[in-house]
Protein backbone atom coordinates (compact mmCIF):
# COMPACT_ATOMS: atom_id res chain seq x y z
CA UNK A 1 0.00 0.00 0.00
CA UNK A 2 1.46 3.45 -0.86
CA UNK A 3 2.87 5.24 2.13
CA UNK A 4 1.49 8.51 3.46
CA UNK A 5 3.69 11.44 2.63
CA UNK A 6 4.36 14.44 4.76
CA UNK A 7 4.18 18.11 3.90
CA UNK A 8 7.80 18.40 2.76
CA UNK A 9 7.67 15.70 0.11
CA UNK A 10 4.01 16.12 -0.89
CA UNK A 11 4.94 18.02 -4.02
CA UNK A 12 7.31 15.31 -5.28
CA UNK A 13 4.34 13.34 -6.52
CA UNK A 14 2.64 15.81 -8.82
CA UNK A 15 -0.81 15.90 -10.33
CA UNK A 16 -1.43 15.45 -14.04
CA UNK A 17 -1.11 18.50 -16.27
CA UNK A 18 -4.06 20.84 -16.21
CA UNK A 19 -6.85 20.47 -18.70
CA UNK A 20 -8.76 23.50 -17.51
CA UNK A 21 -8.89 26.62 -19.61
CA UNK A 22 -6.81 29.76 -19.57
CA UNK A 23 -8.64 30.87 -16.44
CA UNK A 24 -6.85 28.22 -14.42
CA UNK A 25 -3.58 28.97 -16.09
CA UNK A 26 -4.06 32.58 -15.09
CA UNK A 27 -4.61 31.49 -11.51
CA UNK A 28 -1.00 30.33 -11.43
CA UNK A 29 0.14 33.95 -11.81
CA UNK A 30 -0.89 34.56 -8.20
CA UNK A 31 1.87 32.20 -7.03
CA UNK A 32 5.65 32.69 -7.08
CA UNK A 33 7.45 31.60 -10.22
CA UNK A 34 8.96 28.62 -8.44
CA UNK A 35 5.53 27.41 -7.31
CA UNK A 36 3.48 27.12 -10.47
CA UNK A 37 0.53 24.81 -9.78
CA UNK A 38 -0.23 21.62 -11.60
CA UNK A 39 -3.98 22.08 -11.91
CA UNK A 40 -6.18 19.00 -12.19
CA UNK A 41 -9.28 18.91 -14.32
CA UNK A 42 -12.08 19.30 -11.79
CA UNK A 43 -14.89 19.70 -14.28
CA UNK A 44 -17.21 22.56 -15.23
CA UNK A 45 -18.87 23.07 -11.85
CA UNK A 46 -15.64 23.69 -9.93
CA UNK A 47 -14.75 27.35 -10.30
CA UNK A 48 -11.08 28.00 -9.47
CA UNK A 49 -10.75 31.75 -8.99
CA UNK A 50 -8.06 34.20 -7.97
CA UNK A 51 -8.08 37.93 -7.19
CA UNK A 52 -7.27 38.97 -10.78
CA UNK A 53 -9.82 36.68 -12.45
CA UNK A 54 -11.62 38.76 -15.11
CA UNK A 55 -15.23 39.43 -14.20
CA UNK A 56 -14.77 37.84 -10.77
CA UNK A 57 -17.82 39.43 -9.14
CA UNK A 58 -20.00 38.65 -12.16
CA UNK A 59 -18.96 34.99 -12.11
CA UNK A 60 -19.88 34.63 -8.45
CA UNK A 61 -23.14 36.50 -8.94
CA UNK A 62 -24.08 34.21 -11.84
CA UNK A 63 -23.59 31.11 -9.66
CA UNK A 64 -25.74 32.65 -6.93
CA UNK A 65 -28.47 33.65 -9.39
CA UNK A 66 -28.72 30.01 -10.46
CA UNK A 67 -28.45 28.47 -7.00
CA UNK A 68 -30.43 30.70 -4.64
CA UNK A 69 -33.79 29.44 -6.06
CA UNK A 70 -32.47 25.90 -6.69
CA UNK A 71 -34.07 24.25 -3.65
CA UNK A 72 -34.34 20.75 -5.16
CA UNK A 73 -32.66 21.07 -8.55
CA UNK A 74 -29.71 19.08 -9.91
CA UNK A 75 -27.06 21.81 -10.15
CA UNK A 76 -24.07 21.72 -7.76
CA UNK A 77 -21.14 24.20 -7.49
CA UNK A 78 -17.82 24.54 -5.69
CA UNK A 79 -16.03 27.90 -5.66
CA UNK A 80 -12.32 27.44 -4.97
CA UNK A 81 -10.38 30.57 -4.02
CA UNK A 82 -6.66 30.61 -4.74
CA UNK A 83 -4.42 32.22 -2.09
CA UNK A 84 -4.50 36.01 -2.13
CA UNK A 85 -6.55 39.00 -1.02
CA UNK A 86 -9.92 39.64 -2.65
CA UNK A 87 -10.77 43.32 -2.26
CA UNK A 88 -14.38 44.55 -2.34
CA UNK A 89 -15.75 41.10 -3.20
CA UNK A 90 -19.24 40.00 -2.24
CA UNK A 91 -19.86 36.24 -2.02
CA UNK A 92 -23.54 35.34 -1.65
CA UNK A 93 -24.03 31.61 -1.11
CA UNK A 94 -27.10 29.75 -2.39
CA UNK A 95 -28.22 26.11 -2.37
CA UNK A 96 -25.68 23.36 -3.13
CA UNK A 97 -22.81 25.86 -3.14
CA UNK A 98 -19.58 25.46 -1.24
CA UNK A 99 -16.89 28.16 -1.04
CA UNK A 100 -13.44 26.77 -0.23
CA UNK A 101 -10.16 28.57 0.33
CA UNK A 102 -7.07 26.81 -1.01
CA UNK A 103 -4.58 28.05 1.57
CA UNK A 104 -2.52 26.06 4.05
CA UNK A 105 -3.95 28.43 6.66
CA UNK A 106 -7.32 30.24 6.63
CA UNK A 107 -5.51 33.59 6.46
CA UNK A 108 -3.90 32.68 3.13
CA UNK A 109 -7.21 33.49 1.41
CA UNK A 110 -8.68 36.81 2.57
CA UNK A 111 -12.01 38.15 1.33
CA UNK A 112 -12.43 41.84 2.14
CA UNK A 113 -16.09 42.52 1.44
CA UNK A 114 -18.90 40.13 2.33
CA UNK A 115 -19.85 36.48 2.69
CA UNK A 116 -23.60 36.04 3.07
CA UNK A 117 -26.45 33.56 3.32
CA UNK A 118 -29.79 35.25 2.63
CA UNK A 119 -33.17 33.91 3.76
CA UNK A 120 -34.83 31.75 1.10
CA UNK A 121 -38.43 32.19 2.31
CA UNK A 122 -40.45 35.38 2.68
CA UNK A 123 -40.42 37.41 5.89
CA UNK A 124 -36.67 36.92 6.37
CA UNK A 125 -37.31 33.24 7.11
CA UNK A 126 -34.13 31.14 6.78
CA UNK A 127 -35.58 27.85 8.09
CA UNK A 128 -35.10 26.26 4.65
CA UNK A 129 -31.58 27.59 4.05
CA UNK A 130 -29.98 24.17 3.64
CA UNK A 131 -27.00 22.66 1.77
CA UNK A 132 -24.44 25.44 1.56
CA UNK A 133 -21.09 26.01 3.21
CA UNK A 134 -17.82 27.89 3.58
CA UNK A 135 -14.43 26.55 4.63
CA UNK A 136 -10.80 27.55 5.07
CA UNK A 137 -10.59 31.28 4.47
CA UNK A 138 -10.80 34.63 6.23
CA UNK A 139 -13.45 37.27 5.66
CA UNK A 140 -13.45 40.90 6.72
CA UNK A 141 -17.10 41.97 6.26
CA UNK A 142 -16.64 45.60 5.18
CA UNK A 143 -19.61 45.24 2.80
CA UNK A 144 -21.83 43.27 5.18
CA UNK A 145 -24.64 44.51 7.41
CA UNK A 146 -22.63 47.42 8.74
CA UNK A 147 -20.52 47.52 11.89
CA UNK A 148 -18.17 45.01 10.25
CA UNK A 149 -20.83 42.26 10.54
CA UNK A 150 -21.60 39.42 8.14
CA UNK A 151 -24.94 37.62 7.92
CA UNK A 152 -25.01 33.82 7.93
CA UNK A 153 -28.74 33.05 8.06
CA UNK A 154 -28.89 29.26 7.84
CA UNK A 155 -30.52 26.10 9.08
CA UNK A 156 -29.48 22.45 8.59
CA UNK A 157 -26.60 21.03 6.48
CA UNK A 158 -24.47 24.16 6.42
CA UNK A 159 -20.83 23.29 7.18
CA UNK A 160 -18.95 26.42 8.34
CA UNK A 161 -15.46 25.19 9.15
CA UNK A 162 -11.92 26.42 9.50
CA UNK A 163 -13.05 30.01 9.01
CA UNK A 164 -11.68 33.28 10.37
CA UNK A 165 -14.28 36.07 10.60
CA UNK A 166 -12.36 39.28 11.11
CA UNK A 167 -15.36 41.07 12.54
CA UNK A 168 -18.81 39.99 13.75
CA UNK A 169 -21.30 37.40 12.52
CA UNK A 170 -25.08 37.24 12.80
CA UNK A 171 -26.85 33.90 12.45
CA UNK A 172 -30.23 35.06 11.18
CA UNK A 173 -31.76 37.77 8.95
CA UNK A 174 -33.45 40.79 10.58
CA UNK A 175 -36.23 39.35 12.75
CA UNK A 176 -36.81 36.16 10.76
CA UNK A 177 -36.29 32.64 12.05
CA UNK A 178 -33.35 30.38 11.36
CA UNK A 179 -33.16 26.81 12.59
CA UNK A 180 -30.00 24.96 13.37
CA UNK A 181 -26.39 25.32 12.41
CA UNK A 182 -22.79 24.40 12.90
CA UNK A 183 -19.40 25.96 13.66
CA UNK A 184 -16.21 23.89 13.83
CA UNK A 185 -12.61 25.13 13.93
CA UNK A 186 -13.85 28.74 13.59
CA UNK A 187 -12.47 31.99 14.99
CA UNK A 188 -14.57 35.16 15.16
CA UNK A 189 -12.63 38.25 16.21
CA UNK A 190 -15.78 40.05 17.32
CA UNK A 191 -19.24 39.00 18.43
CA UNK A 192 -21.42 36.06 17.41
CA UNK A 193 -25.10 37.03 17.58
CA UNK A 194 -27.35 33.99 17.34
CA UNK A 195 -30.48 36.22 17.46
CA UNK A 196 -33.58 34.10 16.60
CA UNK A 197 -31.51 31.04 15.73
CA UNK A 198 -33.35 28.12 17.33
CA UNK A 199 -30.40 25.81 18.01
CA UNK A 200 -26.69 25.68 17.26
CA UNK A 201 -23.55 23.59 17.87
CA UNK A 202 -20.15 25.23 18.17
CA UNK A 203 -17.16 22.88 18.38
CA UNK A 204 -13.50 23.90 18.84
CA UNK A 205 -14.20 27.54 18.10
CA UNK A 206 -13.46 30.90 19.69
CA UNK A 207 -14.74 34.48 19.63
CA UNK A 208 -14.63 37.70 21.58
CA UNK A 209 -18.23 37.30 22.74
CA UNK A 210 -21.48 35.42 22.10
CA UNK A 211 -24.97 36.83 22.51
CA UNK A 212 -28.31 35.10 22.02
CA UNK A 213 -30.07 31.96 23.17
CA UNK A 214 -33.25 30.23 22.17
CA UNK A 215 -33.88 26.51 22.61
CA UNK A 216 -30.65 24.55 22.48
CA UNK A 217 -27.14 26.01 22.17
CA UNK A 218 -24.23 23.59 22.69
CA UNK A 219 -20.55 24.52 23.03
CA UNK A 220 -17.85 21.82 22.96
CA UNK A 221 -14.16 22.70 23.28
CA UNK A 222 -14.93 26.43 22.98
CA UNK A 223 -12.58 28.92 24.64
CA UNK A 224 -15.11 31.55 25.71
CA UNK A 225 -18.61 30.09 25.96
CA UNK A 226 -21.28 32.53 27.13
CA UNK A 227 -22.22 32.86 30.78
CA UNK A 228 -25.34 31.15 32.08
CA UNK A 229 -26.64 27.63 31.85
CA UNK A 230 -29.60 25.58 30.73
CA UNK A 231 -32.55 25.71 31.35
CA UNK A 232 -32.69 29.43 32.28
CA UNK A 233 -34.54 31.30 29.47
CA UNK A 234 -32.03 33.41 27.59
CA UNK A 235 -29.22 31.20 28.92
CA UNK A 236 -30.06 27.75 27.52
CA UNK A 237 -26.42 26.88 27.07
CA UNK A 238 -24.78 23.47 27.32
CA UNK A 239 -21.03 23.71 27.80
CA UNK A 240 -18.47 20.89 27.59
CA UNK A 241 -15.00 22.22 28.35
CA UNK A 242 -12.97 19.94 26.07
CA UNK A 243 -13.64 17.99 22.90
CA UNK A 244 -12.68 14.46 23.96
CA UNK A 245 -11.66 13.09 20.56
CA UNK A 246 -11.96 14.47 17.03
CA UNK A 247 -10.19 14.56 13.70
CA UNK A 248 -10.91 17.71 11.73
CA UNK A 249 -12.26 17.42 8.20
CA UNK A 250 -9.72 17.05 5.36
CA UNK A 251 -9.29 20.11 3.16
CA UNK A 252 -7.93 20.96 -0.27
CA UNK A 253 -4.96 23.31 -0.40
CA UNK A 254 -2.05 24.41 -2.58
CA UNK A 255 1.15 22.70 -1.42
CA UNK A 256 4.62 24.26 -1.18
CA UNK A 257 5.36 23.67 -4.85
CA UNK A 258 1.99 24.94 -6.00
CA UNK A 259 0.28 21.59 -6.54
CA UNK A 260 -3.18 20.65 -5.36
CA UNK A 261 -3.19 18.40 -2.29
CA UNK A 262 -5.45 17.26 0.54
CA UNK A 263 -4.51 17.70 4.18
CA UNK A 264 -5.85 14.99 6.50
CA UNK A 265 -5.65 16.34 10.07
CA UNK A 266 -4.45 14.22 12.97
CA UNK A 267 -6.59 13.07 15.86
CA UNK A 268 -6.99 15.66 18.62
CA UNK A 269 -7.65 14.59 22.19
CA UNK A 270 -9.13 16.82 24.91
CA UNK A 271 -8.82 19.82 22.62
CA UNK A 272 -9.97 23.43 23.01
CA UNK A 273 -10.07 26.06 20.29
CA UNK A 274 -9.03 26.00 16.65
CA UNK A 275 -6.50 23.62 15.08
CA UNK A 276 -4.69 26.41 13.20
CA UNK A 277 -3.83 28.81 16.04
CA UNK A 278 -0.72 31.01 15.80
CA UNK A 279 -0.45 30.46 12.06
CA UNK A 280 0.40 26.78 12.37
CA UNK A 281 -0.37 24.29 9.63
CA UNK A 282 -2.92 21.92 11.15
CA UNK A 283 -1.00 18.77 12.16
CA UNK A 284 -1.66 15.81 9.91
CA UNK A 285 -0.63 14.08 6.70
CA UNK A 286 -0.64 15.45 3.17
CA UNK A 287 -1.93 13.52 0.19
CA UNK A 288 -1.07 14.96 -3.25
CA UNK A 289 -3.90 15.11 -5.73
CA UNK A 290 -2.19 12.40 -7.81
CA UNK A 291 -3.19 9.94 -5.08
CA UNK A 292 -6.87 10.69 -5.78
CA UNK A 293 -9.20 9.60 -8.49
CA UNK A 294 -11.16 12.73 -9.39
CA UNK A 295 -14.74 11.54 -9.74
CA UNK A 296 -17.08 13.35 -12.11
CA UNK A 297 -20.78 12.83 -12.88
CA UNK A 298 -21.11 9.93 -15.29
CA UNK A 299 -18.51 7.79 -13.51
CA UNK A 300 -19.96 4.35 -12.88
CA UNK A 301 -19.90 2.49 -9.59
CA UNK A 302 -17.74 -0.18 -11.25
CA UNK A 303 -15.18 2.41 -12.33
CA UNK A 304 -15.10 4.06 -8.92
CA UNK A 305 -14.75 0.71 -7.14
CA UNK A 306 -11.87 -0.22 -9.42
CA UNK A 307 -10.06 2.98 -8.42
CA UNK A 308 -10.68 2.27 -4.73
CA UNK A 309 -9.44 -1.31 -5.10
CA UNK A 310 -6.28 -0.01 -6.79
CA UNK A 311 -5.49 2.10 -3.72
CA UNK A 312 -6.77 5.46 -4.88
CA UNK A 313 -8.57 7.94 -2.69
CA UNK A 314 -11.69 9.58 -4.16
CA UNK A 315 -12.39 13.27 -4.69
CA UNK A 316 -16.01 13.75 -5.79
CA UNK A 317 -16.64 16.90 -7.81
CA UNK A 318 -20.06 18.61 -7.86
CA UNK A 319 -22.99 16.98 -9.63
CA UNK A 320 -25.37 14.05 -9.44
CA UNK A 321 -24.09 10.46 -9.56
CA UNK A 322 -26.66 7.81 -10.50
CA UNK A 323 -25.17 4.53 -9.34
CA UNK A 324 -26.23 1.00 -10.21
CA UNK A 325 -24.05 -0.71 -7.60
CA UNK A 326 -22.70 -0.01 -4.12
CA UNK A 327 -19.46 1.89 -3.59
CA UNK A 328 -17.18 -0.23 -1.40
CA UNK A 329 -14.46 1.42 0.67
CA UNK A 330 -12.26 -1.39 1.93
CA UNK A 331 -8.65 -0.21 2.26
CA UNK A 332 -7.45 1.25 5.61
CA UNK A 333 -6.77 4.98 5.56
CA UNK A 334 -8.85 5.71 2.46
CA UNK A 335 -10.17 9.25 2.08
CA UNK A 336 -13.44 9.87 0.23
CA UNK A 337 -13.99 13.62 0.00
CA UNK A 338 -16.72 15.53 -1.79
CA UNK A 339 -16.73 19.21 -2.73
CA UNK A 340 -19.80 21.14 -3.82
CA UNK A 341 -22.37 18.70 -2.39
CA UNK A 342 -21.91 15.80 -4.87
CA UNK A 343 -25.09 13.74 -4.71
CA UNK A 344 -25.24 9.93 -4.90
CA UNK A 345 -28.45 8.15 -5.80
CA UNK A 346 -29.48 4.61 -6.77
CA UNK A 347 -32.91 3.71 -8.14
CA UNK A 348 -32.36 -0.07 -8.40
CA UNK A 349 -32.28 -0.97 -4.71
CA UNK A 350 -28.50 -0.96 -4.23
CA UNK A 351 -27.14 0.72 -1.07
CA UNK A 352 -25.03 3.73 -1.98
CA UNK A 353 -21.91 3.18 0.13
CA UNK A 354 -20.50 0.49 2.40
CA UNK A 355 -17.22 0.52 4.28
CA UNK A 356 -15.22 -2.45 5.48
CA UNK A 357 -14.38 -2.78 9.17
CA UNK A 358 -10.91 -1.24 8.81
CA UNK A 359 -9.14 1.63 10.52
CA UNK A 360 -8.55 5.22 9.52
CA UNK A 361 -11.28 5.76 6.95
CA UNK A 362 -12.58 9.24 6.19
CA UNK A 363 -15.84 9.87 4.34
CA UNK A 364 -16.71 13.55 4.06
CA UNK A 365 -18.80 16.01 2.12
CA UNK A 366 -21.27 13.66 0.42
CA UNK A 367 -25.02 13.98 -0.15
CA UNK A 368 -26.85 10.62 -0.20
CA UNK A 369 -30.31 10.65 -1.78
CA UNK A 370 -32.77 7.76 -1.41
CA UNK A 371 -33.91 6.20 -4.68
CA UNK A 372 -37.19 4.92 -6.02
CA UNK A 373 -36.55 1.35 -4.78
CA UNK A 374 -35.84 0.60 -1.12
CA UNK A 375 -32.19 -0.36 -0.66
CA UNK A 376 -32.57 -1.20 3.04
CA UNK A 377 -29.86 1.28 3.98
CA UNK A 378 -28.17 4.19 2.19
CA UNK A 379 -24.81 3.89 3.99
CA UNK A 380 -23.35 1.05 6.08
CA UNK A 381 -20.23 1.66 8.19
CA UNK A 382 -18.35 -1.49 9.18
CA UNK A 383 -19.43 -5.11 9.34
CA UNK A 384 -22.34 -6.40 11.45
CA UNK A 385 -21.12 -8.34 14.48
CA UNK A 386 -17.45 -7.42 14.13
CA UNK A 387 -15.41 -7.20 17.33
CA UNK A 388 -12.50 -5.25 15.84
CA UNK A 389 -11.57 -2.03 17.69
CA UNK A 390 -10.31 1.22 16.15
CA UNK A 391 -9.50 3.39 19.16
CA UNK A 392 -6.15 4.59 17.82
CA UNK A 393 -7.37 5.31 14.29
CA UNK A 394 -11.16 5.45 13.98
CA UNK A 395 -13.33 5.94 10.94
CA UNK A 396 -14.54 9.54 10.79
CA UNK A 397 -17.61 10.82 8.94
CA UNK A 398 -17.83 14.57 8.26
CA UNK A 399 -20.66 16.60 6.74
CA UNK A 400 -22.73 13.70 5.44
CA UNK A 401 -26.25 14.65 4.42
CA UNK A 402 -29.03 12.17 3.74
CA UNK A 403 -32.39 12.87 2.07
CA UNK A 404 -35.50 10.75 1.54
CA UNK A 405 -37.89 12.52 -0.85
CA UNK A 406 -37.98 16.21 -1.64
CA UNK A 407 -36.43 16.20 -5.11
CA UNK A 408 -38.46 13.10 -6.07
CA UNK A 409 -40.20 10.22 -4.34
CA UNK A 410 -37.70 7.99 -2.53
CA UNK A 411 -37.71 5.33 0.15
CA UNK A 412 -35.33 3.47 2.44
CA UNK A 413 -35.73 1.61 5.70
CA UNK A 414 -32.70 3.19 7.43
CA UNK A 415 -30.53 6.01 6.11
CA UNK A 416 -27.28 5.43 8.05
CA UNK A 417 -26.21 2.35 10.00
CA UNK A 418 -22.98 2.22 12.03
CA UNK A 419 -21.51 -1.14 13.00
CA UNK A 420 -17.82 -0.19 13.36
CA UNK A 421 -16.66 0.40 16.91
CA UNK A 422 -15.09 3.76 17.85
CA UNK A 423 -16.53 5.61 14.83
CA UNK A 424 -16.60 9.42 14.99
CA UNK A 425 -19.37 11.39 13.29
CA UNK A 426 -18.71 15.10 12.88
CA UNK A 427 -21.91 16.77 11.66
CA UNK A 428 -24.73 15.05 9.81
CA UNK A 429 -28.28 15.93 8.79
CA UNK A 430 -30.48 12.90 8.08
CA UNK A 431 -33.77 14.11 6.63
CA UNK A 432 -36.98 12.49 5.54
CA UNK A 433 -38.35 15.39 3.54
CA UNK A 434 -41.37 17.26 4.86
CA UNK A 435 -41.76 19.40 1.72
CA UNK A 436 -40.91 19.22 -1.98
CA UNK A 437 -41.74 16.52 -4.55
CA UNK A 438 -42.62 12.95 -3.60
CA UNK A 439 -43.53 13.82 -0.02
CA UNK A 440 -46.34 12.10 1.89
CA UNK A 441 -46.79 9.32 4.43
CA UNK A 442 -46.76 6.79 1.57
CA UNK A 443 -44.55 8.45 -1.08
CA UNK A 444 -41.33 8.74 0.95
CA UNK A 445 -41.60 6.03 3.61
CA UNK A 446 -38.61 5.52 5.91
CA UNK A 447 -38.45 4.00 9.38
CA UNK A 448 -35.20 5.27 10.90
CA UNK A 449 -32.60 7.92 10.22
CA UNK A 450 -29.73 6.37 12.21
CA UNK A 451 -29.12 2.98 13.80
CA UNK A 452 -25.93 2.50 15.87
CA UNK A 453 -24.77 -1.02 16.69
CA UNK A 454 -21.07 -0.19 17.21
CA UNK A 455 -19.54 0.44 20.61
CA UNK A 456 -18.02 3.75 21.72
CA UNK A 457 -19.41 5.72 18.78
CA UNK A 458 -19.17 9.51 19.26
CA UNK A 459 -21.25 12.07 17.37
CA UNK A 460 -20.90 15.86 17.29
CA UNK A 461 -23.92 17.54 15.73
CA UNK A 462 -26.66 14.97 15.12
CA UNK A 463 -29.64 16.34 13.17
CA UNK A 464 -32.30 13.70 12.33
CA UNK A 465 -35.84 14.55 11.26
CA UNK A 466 -39.29 13.28 10.25
CA UNK A 467 -38.72 9.51 10.06
CA UNK A 468 -41.81 7.37 10.64
CA UNK A 469 -40.56 5.35 13.60
CA UNK A 470 -37.65 6.16 15.94
CA UNK A 471 -35.38 8.80 14.40
CA UNK A 472 -32.36 7.27 16.19
CA UNK A 473 -31.96 3.74 17.56
CA UNK A 474 -28.83 3.22 19.66
CA UNK A 475 -27.93 -0.38 20.49
CA UNK A 476 -24.16 -0.19 21.02
CA UNK A 477 -22.59 0.54 24.39
CA UNK A 478 -20.52 3.63 25.16
CA UNK A 479 -22.25 6.04 22.80
CA UNK A 480 -21.73 9.79 23.21
CA UNK A 481 -23.75 12.51 21.46
CA UNK A 482 -22.98 16.22 21.70
CA UNK A 483 -26.05 18.10 20.40
CA UNK A 484 -29.16 16.47 19.00
CA UNK A 485 -31.86 18.23 16.99
CA UNK A 486 -34.97 16.44 15.78
CA UNK A 487 -38.40 17.23 14.49
CA UNK A 488 -40.61 14.16 14.65
CA UNK A 489 -42.74 13.45 11.57
CA UNK A 490 -45.27 16.11 10.59
CA UNK A 491 -47.52 13.75 8.70
CA UNK A 492 -48.87 10.77 10.72
CA UNK A 493 -52.40 10.50 9.26
CA UNK A 494 -53.96 9.27 12.51
CA UNK A 495 -52.82 8.17 15.96
CA UNK A 496 -53.54 4.46 15.30
CA UNK A 497 -51.25 4.64 12.25
CA UNK A 498 -48.50 6.07 14.45
CA UNK A 499 -48.51 3.76 17.46
CA UNK A 500 -45.62 1.49 18.42
CA UNK A 501 -45.80 -2.24 19.10
CA UNK A 502 -45.73 -1.74 22.85
CA UNK A 503 -48.88 0.35 22.60
CA UNK A 504 -47.32 3.75 23.16
CA UNK A 505 -48.57 6.72 21.19
CA UNK A 506 -45.98 7.54 18.56
CA UNK A 507 -42.31 6.54 18.47
CA UNK A 508 -39.64 8.15 20.62
CA UNK A 509 -37.31 10.39 18.63
CA UNK A 510 -34.22 9.07 20.43
CA UNK A 511 -34.27 5.43 21.56
CA UNK A 512 -31.52 3.77 23.59
CA UNK A 513 -32.05 0.00 23.64
CA UNK A 514 -32.86 -1.73 26.92
CA UNK A 515 -29.63 -3.76 26.89
CA UNK A 516 -27.36 -0.69 26.79
CA UNK A 517 -25.47 -0.04 30.03
CA UNK A 518 -23.32 2.98 29.03
CA UNK A 519 -24.55 6.01 27.08
CA UNK A 520 -24.26 9.81 27.41
CA UNK A 521 -25.87 12.69 25.52
CA UNK A 522 -25.73 16.45 26.00
CA UNK A 523 -28.02 19.13 24.59
CA UNK A 524 -31.05 17.45 23.01
CA UNK A 525 -34.00 19.19 21.37
CA UNK A 526 -37.10 17.35 20.08
CA UNK A 527 -39.91 19.28 18.39
CA UNK A 528 -43.39 18.48 17.09
CA UNK A 529 -45.26 20.00 14.13
CA UNK A 530 -48.25 17.71 13.74
CA UNK A 531 -50.47 18.45 10.75
CA UNK A 532 -53.44 16.31 11.83
CA UNK A 533 -55.47 16.73 15.03
CA UNK A 534 -55.43 14.24 17.90
CA UNK A 535 -51.87 13.00 17.29
CA UNK A 536 -49.45 13.06 20.23
CA UNK A 537 -46.10 11.58 21.23
CA UNK A 538 -45.87 9.98 24.66
CA UNK A 539 -42.08 10.28 25.10
CA UNK A 540 -39.45 12.25 23.16
CA UNK A 541 -36.59 10.08 24.48
CA UNK A 542 -36.64 6.50 25.75
CA UNK A 543 -33.69 4.94 27.56
CA UNK A 544 -33.02 2.36 30.26
CA UNK A 545 -32.83 3.83 33.75
CA UNK A 546 -29.40 2.90 35.07
CA UNK A 547 -26.37 4.83 36.36
CA UNK A 548 -24.30 4.47 33.18
CA UNK A 549 -26.99 5.97 30.93
CA UNK A 550 -27.11 9.76 31.38
CA UNK A 551 -28.72 12.68 29.57
CA UNK A 552 -27.94 16.34 30.20
CA UNK A 553 -30.07 19.31 29.07
CA UNK A 554 -33.18 18.28 27.14
CA UNK A 555 -35.93 20.41 25.65
CA UNK A 556 -39.20 19.61 23.87
CA UNK A 557 -41.26 22.13 21.93
CA UNK A 558 -44.75 21.81 20.45
CA UNK A 559 -45.19 24.07 17.41
CA UNK A 560 -48.19 25.09 15.28
CA UNK A 561 -51.57 24.42 16.91
CA UNK A 562 -51.97 20.64 17.20
CA UNK A 563 -50.79 17.78 19.37
CA UNK A 564 -48.25 17.47 22.17
CA UNK A 565 -45.14 15.73 23.47
CA UNK A 566 -46.27 14.36 26.82
CA UNK A 567 -42.93 13.56 28.45
CA UNK A 568 -39.31 14.55 27.81
CA UNK A 569 -37.68 11.20 28.63
CA UNK A 570 -39.40 8.03 29.80
CA UNK A 571 -41.94 9.26 32.36
CA UNK A 572 -39.93 12.35 33.37
CA UNK A 573 -40.44 15.95 32.33
CA UNK A 574 -43.49 18.10 31.74
CA UNK A 575 -45.70 18.03 28.65
CA UNK A 576 -45.08 20.39 25.73
CA UNK A 577 -48.61 21.10 24.54
CA UNK A 578 -49.73 23.42 21.80
CA UNK A 579 -53.06 23.91 23.58
CA UNK A 580 -53.92 23.87 27.25
CA UNK A 581 -50.46 24.40 28.72
CA UNK A 582 -46.88 25.40 27.98
CA UNK A 583 -45.59 24.59 24.49
CA UNK A 584 -42.06 24.11 25.88
CA UNK A 585 -40.70 21.69 28.47
CA UNK A 586 -37.14 21.36 29.77
CA UNK A 587 -35.30 18.80 31.88
CA UNK A 588 -31.79 19.44 33.13
CA UNK A 589 -30.66 15.85 33.61
CA UNK A 590 -31.76 12.23 33.70
CA UNK A 591 -31.68 10.20 35.81
Ramachandran category for residue 268: left, alpha or beta (phi over 0 → left; psi -120 to 50 → alpha): beta
Nearest residue to 192 (alpha-carbon basis) of 216, 214, 165? 165
Quick check: 211 and 191 in contact, CB under 8 A? yes
Quick check: 265 and 245 in contact, CB under 8 A? no
Cis before 231 (ω within 30): yes
Strand partners, 139: 111, 165
Residue 443: DSSP 8-state: T
Q: Does 87 participate in catalysis according to the annotation? A: no
Nearest residue to 46 (alpha-carbon basis) of 317, 356, 358, 384? 317
Q: Alpha-carbon Rg of the chain, whole angstroms?
A: 23
All residues at 6 or more sequence positions from 501 whose CB lies less than 8 Å from its CB, including other chains: none
Cα distance between residue 149 and residue 30, in whole Å:
28
Given 320, 455, 465, 487, the catalytic residue: 487
Quick check: 423 and 382 in contact, CB under 8 A? yes
Quick check: 214 and 197 in contact, CB under 8 A? yes
- Label residue 383 exposed, middle or buried (CB < 10 Å: 0-12, 13-18, 19+): middle
E-assigned strand segments in 434-573: 448-452, 458-465, 472-474, 479-487, 510-512, 519-528, 536-542, 549-558, 564-569
Catalytic residues: 487
Amino acid sequence: MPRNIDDDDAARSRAPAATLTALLAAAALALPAQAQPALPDLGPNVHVLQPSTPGLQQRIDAIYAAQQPNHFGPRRDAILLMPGTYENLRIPVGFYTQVLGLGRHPGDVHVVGDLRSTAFLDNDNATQNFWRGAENFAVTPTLGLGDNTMQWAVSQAIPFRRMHVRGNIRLNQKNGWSSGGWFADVRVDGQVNSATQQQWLSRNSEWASWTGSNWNMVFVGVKQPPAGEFPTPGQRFTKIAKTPLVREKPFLFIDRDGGFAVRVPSLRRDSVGVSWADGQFTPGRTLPIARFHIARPGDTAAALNAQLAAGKHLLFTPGEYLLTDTLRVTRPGTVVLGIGFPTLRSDNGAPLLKTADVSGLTVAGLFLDAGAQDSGVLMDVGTPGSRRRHRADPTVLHDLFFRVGGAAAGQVHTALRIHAHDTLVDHTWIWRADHGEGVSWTLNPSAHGLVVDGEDVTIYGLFVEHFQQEQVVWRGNGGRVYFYQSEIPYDPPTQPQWTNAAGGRGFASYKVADAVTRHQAWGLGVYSVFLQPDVVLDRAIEAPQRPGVRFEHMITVCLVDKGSIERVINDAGDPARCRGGSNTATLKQYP
